[in-house]
Structure 1
């Protein structure tokens, strides 16, 4: 069809040349890997860089490197690390005959462009690829992969002999309410537009075909162009081209499915980056509580993309004492629980929550304990001379002072930083504790700001008196 076989001296020589081109593409891909590890921003962990790469030969026409290596690393990043990576902008690396550009979205989505040129065993080849992979499902639970591939190949000694392929491909997949891909016909839709062209001794043949698979399983195919073919004498060539298109469609479906499912670290929507799971307790204080304290808990999953309720369900798992109701199984979101805290002093417990829906997966943890903290009564602070009980001064705490609010952030058992708001003014500084543990004196150093002016104010003092319990 393309004249390559006859130009190279027969089928065996043509197959050997095609294999050499495929090997050369693979070398190009392998050569980019050390550069990707070296040039990616510091936010990358580097985990799985070598094992996460997928190289694909598309029926002898093209070579693809997927973004699995990047997706694998991104899935294990914290939100802060991902934000740093996104801020760096596109990552570019490559050489004279091959280059790549990767762009990571705020939700972990991937856009990738690759280009390779190869001249091997009498054949010259060129491949360009654009790839987009969704990370988070939309409100219907849909995620997708799109590819745009251009490839060409010709005999080096005969520039007018060879072939080209242009392919546009889209895969849409849907999740169920358990954040898992639907495996039935209702869970997939695809569309591929492929244009194949070839020149053999001046004879130009072209075929364009669109293949669709609708959600629900209905399949269709349309021949858009078949110029240069004779339906009476070129039947084998037509059948070969159609078979190649069908095989290419199947291969692209498999590649896209691999991209969505993730390579080694699971799909992106299970990373917790698509869903924010807010968990609350009433009472809100969970550390240093009385034994058998009763709590009302609520788990509220929301899609990060639009803040909408995700639906689906929540599963809560208790580690430690005492009792959680419902104790197991799925609870419809937004989920409510009753929890009786640890039954004895100096005990701790943890409840892990996981929300699953067609919007993805969200996770959160609440921790409880009945441990005795460093409890103090603080008096004499400010001109109001108020008194405040703090259950654990080793943890950040706040209380009202003279109509405002004062916050403490301990940095050691003898001091920390503080900030306050009062009557339109704000301030901050440090505090230092002196004296015996039973009764310490706190000295506050302050910088107060009002309007656009900031100035040091006299040191403040307060008395911290140790108490046995804050119950």
Structure 2
């Protein structure tokens, strides 16, 4: 009958109605069910508490089946040995198993999973928490699955793994008795495309002998499974399933055995709001529990029994900490069960509560981290010119289903200079305009973000103002006049490197070598020519406008030797051949970087055409 109930095959004739009134006793009547609405701290639920609830359920069923009494006088010791073996297995093998599966047991995983927190406890192993690395006193399906739920936060990564372990332990529960306990544990996980699944199978076989003769065998078998689409769909739903079964069967040589079983099946839906936060979790939870055995004279139970209960209960968990369960008159089926056993099934949901809430929180971490939504821009991070304007559009889609997401997109800026619109929501495709700063190596980070019931999508574009290594070339044709004298000349400065002054932002060439060819004519006196190199100091001051970036070119002609002009007077050659007049004519003339800029000069003393080219050096 236990097996039939666990499979949901209870007949209509065995149905026993439950009403939400109080005052029942063990003999029938109305059931003392819990309040349908209770307070539950959403953010403090842990899988550690879920594992504790599973252990409590196993121990309750052992009492219901009278297993310890059937193994008298060593029953309590045998059960303690089984639990101790599971503890030893968990502490020695689980860290190795989960490491093989890619679950890192460090502080980063400790807080989300709640499993690895150091625990201080004086409780002996097998009876409570041990304070071990794993922090759990028994190998339970809930604990193993909870460790794997950490991988929900990596559901965007493709990963698959399976590990198996078998260990044998030998115990002596009392003089003349020996136990051989074999434990088999298998864990498998698969993640990718926003999905995460995990399966745990646990088996333990405890063979008890007295003076070398087999007396009894206690076989435990557990299986747990979960599956979750951790990236919400277009309706803001993350759907999943959770199932857990456990059986323990005692066989005795020459005598009737006993057994227990329980199972939980809880399909669930995580409902996400427009703020990408969990609004509630909806779950229809089916429970089954039962036990059978001969009983023992003077024990509890004292005679043969075979009972089972199944219950189906819709449950909703709200973000505000409210747990609402619908305990109605048709929520359970039972056979030969007492009222307390029926109620025990209907309220025995702590392992489900804590497990679902923690798994949902891990999923929320995933979809709020930007891993479920892909923001696409028609620009990418790159180096920019000072003051450059970069415009781009932003669109959004589900990373794994490719569905467009229509929620607003917001752009913000970290660093210089401006982004428009800043902090204002736009429906996709969102148009963003970024204006870079003026200083070399200034970094502007444009962050675009979309928040919706499908999660949060994020993308950051980094625009760095180029560190400019410039060079300048000048070609000049000019005519200078002064009194009766006239100079017609040409100046040529080949591409010459400029050095940037870090503090001022100016560029300078202190020893630029230019070549001058010129002819001086002094009517009725003489004609002179020059063909020589001259040293120039050239300073460039940056000027940035909304349209372009320019440099103010300021040549400074250094000192030169005096020359004899027509044998009459001795003067510096820079004056004689008009270089100082030309240099002065260029002060504060703006030159566009990257273009050959023609700068005309026309004064009573000088008519000149200067072609100035400022470019970036490819190999500074």
Unaligned runs of 5+ in 2: 1-63, 117-127, 130-135, 168-182, 209-215, 295-303, 319-323, 472-612
In 1, Cα distance between equivalents of 2:80 and 2:407: 49
Give the corresponding residue for 2:201: 115
Q: Does structure 2 conserve the Cα–Cα contact (< 8 Å) formed by 1:194 and 1:245?
A: yes
Alignment CA distance shift 1:110-1:310 (3 Å):
same
Give the corresponding residue for 2:123: none
Give the corresponding residue for 1:468: 616
Is 1:190 aligned to residue 276 of structure 2?
A: no
In 1, Cα distance between equivalents of 2:267 and 2:394: 36
Q: Secondary structure at the match of 1:139?
A: coil
Give matches, 1:183-332, under 5 Å. Answer: 187-201=280-294, 202-213=304-315, 219-221=326-328, 222-229=330-337, 237-248=338-349, 250-262=350-362, 267-281=365-379, 286-291=382-387, 293-328=388-423, 330-332=425-427
Deviations along 1:245-281, whole A, 9 cap, x unmatched? 3232x43022111122129xx6222333211111234
Is 1:164 aligned to residue 261 of structure 2?
A: yes
Structure with the greater relative contact order (CA < 8 A, sep ≥ 6): 1 or 2?
Answer: 2
Q: Does structure 2 conserve the Cα–Cα contact (< 8 Å) formed by 1:141 and 1:358?
A: yes
Is 1:152 aligned to residue 247 of structure 2?
A: yes
Q: Secondary structure at the match of 2:192?
A: coil
In 1, Cα distance between equivalents of 2:251 and 2:265: 27
In 2, Cα distance between equivalents of 1:69 and 1:61: 12
- How far did 1:159 drift? 6.0
Is 1:128 aligned to residue 223 of structure 2?
A: yes
1:4 to 49, 62, 67: 67
Q: Does structure 1 conserve the Cα–Cα contact (< 8 Å) formed by 2:99 and 2:105?
A: no
Q: Based on CA coordinates, which of the two structures has the bigger radius of gyration?
A: 2
Is 1:335 aligned to residue 430 of structure 2?
A: yes
Deviations along 1:408-454, whole A, 9 cap, x unmatched? xxxxxxxxxxxxxxxxxxxxxxxxxxxxxxxxxxxxxxxxxxxxxxx
Q: Does structure 1 conserve the Cα–Cα contact (< 8 Å) formed by 2:281 and 2:316?
A: yes
Q: Secondary structure at the match of 2:358?
A: helix
Give the corresponding residue for 2:444: 349
Give the corresponding residue for 2:176: none
Is 1:93 aligned to residue 164 of structure 2?
A: yes
In 1, Cα distance between equivalents of 2:345 and 2:71: 22
Q: Secondary structure at the match of 1:93?
A: strand
Q: Does structure 2 conserve the Cα–Cα contact (< 8 Å) formed by 1:171 and 1:253?
A: no
Alignment CA distance shift 1:213-1:40 (3 Å):
closer
Alignment CA distance shift 1:37-1:115 (3 Å):
closer
- How far did 1:318 drift? 1.3
In 2, Cα distance between equivalents of 1:68 and 1:270: 21
Alignment CA distance shift 1:355-1:108 (3 Å):
same
- How far did 1:215 drift? 9.0
Q: Does structure 2 conserve the Cα–Cα contact (< 8 Å) formed by 1:102 and 1:112?
A: yes
Q: How many residues align?
A: 353
Give the corresponding residue for 2:95: 34
Q: Does structure 2 conserve the Cα–Cα contact (< 8 Å) formed by 1:299 and 1:335?
A: yes
Give the corresponding residue for 1:416: none
Q: Secondary structure at the match of 1:301?
A: strand
TM-score (norm 2): 0.49
Q: Secondary structure at the match of 2:163?
A: strand
- How far did 1:290 drift? 4.1
- How far did 1:205 drift? 1.0
Deviations along 1:152-185, whole A, 9 cap, x unmatched? 1244646622311122112211111121111xxx
In 1, Cα distance between equivalents of 2:84 and 2:197: 25
Deviations along 1:190-218, whole A, 9 cap, x unmatched? 11112212113142111111111369967
In 2, Cα distance between equivalents of 1:255 and 1:13: 31
TM-score (norm 1): 0.63
In 1, Cα distance between equivalents of 2:310 and 2:152: 37
Q: Does structure 2 conserve the Cα–Cα contact (< 8 Å) formed by 1:33 and 1:50?
A: no
Q: Does structure 2 conserve the Cα–Cα contact (< 8 Å) formed by 1:178 and 1:312?
A: no
Alignment CA distance shift 1:45-1:188 (3 Å):
closer
In 2, Cα distance between equivalents of 1:327 and 1:268: 27
Give matches, 1:340-379, under 5 Å. Answer: 340-372=435-467
Deviations along 1:50-76, whole A, 9 cap, x unmatched? 845749999x99642344545546746
In 1, Cα distance between equivalents of 2:381 and 2:334: 73
Q: Secondary structure at the match of 1:136?
A: coil
- How far did 1:151 drift? 0.8
In 2, Cα distance between equivalents of 1:102 and 1:133: 15
Q: Does structure 2 conserve the Cα–Cα contact (< 8 Å) formed by 1:107 and 1:135?
A: no
Alignment CA distance shift 1:76-1:6 (3 Å):
closer
